[in-house]
Structure 1
Amino acid sequence: MHDPNDLNAMLEPGQMVRHPREADWGLGQVQSNINGRLTVMFQHEGKVVIDSKRVAVHPVYE
């Protein structure tokens, strides 16, 4: 059962995303999604760990 407060629960490794408040980071690829901690490798920022209870990233379907 997933945490109802996890805003990124549906994301899986390999999916592409964008950060809603950091457009200059560019496109990011999900590396892992474990216990509300989403690790994303962004083009212009590098690896970032996101608290899924605070930030909902935007999936990219291109």
Structure 2
Amino acid sequence: MSALLQPGMLVRHPQRPDWGVGQVQSSIGTKVTVMFPHSGKVVIDSTRVDLEPVFDT
């Protein structure tokens, strides 16, 4: 899934809905950096977490 994530895309963390909708900052290999409104900048290993794209806000 990380190959499909591009900077600027909106995503949710499936196990952390309290973080809100985040914006992808970068996606390099299996590391995705996302800025979440309620937890700040988080680096996520996409082999461990399948971020959910958000198409409607």
TM-score by length of 1: 0.86
Choose the corresponding residue for 2:47, options 47, 53, 57.
53
* % identity of equivalent residues: 59
Runs of 4+ in structure 1 over 2 Å off: none
What is the RMSD computed on CA atoms of the aligned residues? 0.7
Larger gyration radius, structure 1 or structure 2: 1
Choose the corresponding residue for 2:21, options 14, 21, 27.
27
Greater helix content = 2
**Secondary structure class of the residue paired with 2:23:** strand
Mapped to 2, the partners of 1:17 and 1:49 lie a distance apart of: 13
- Which structure 2 residue ranges, 5 or more long, are not aligned? none
How far residue 53 of structure 1 moved from its aligned partner, in angstroms, is: 0.7
- Which structure 1 residue ranges, 5 or more long, are not aligned? 1-6
Mapped to 1, the partners of 2:30 and 2:10 lie a distance apart of: 17
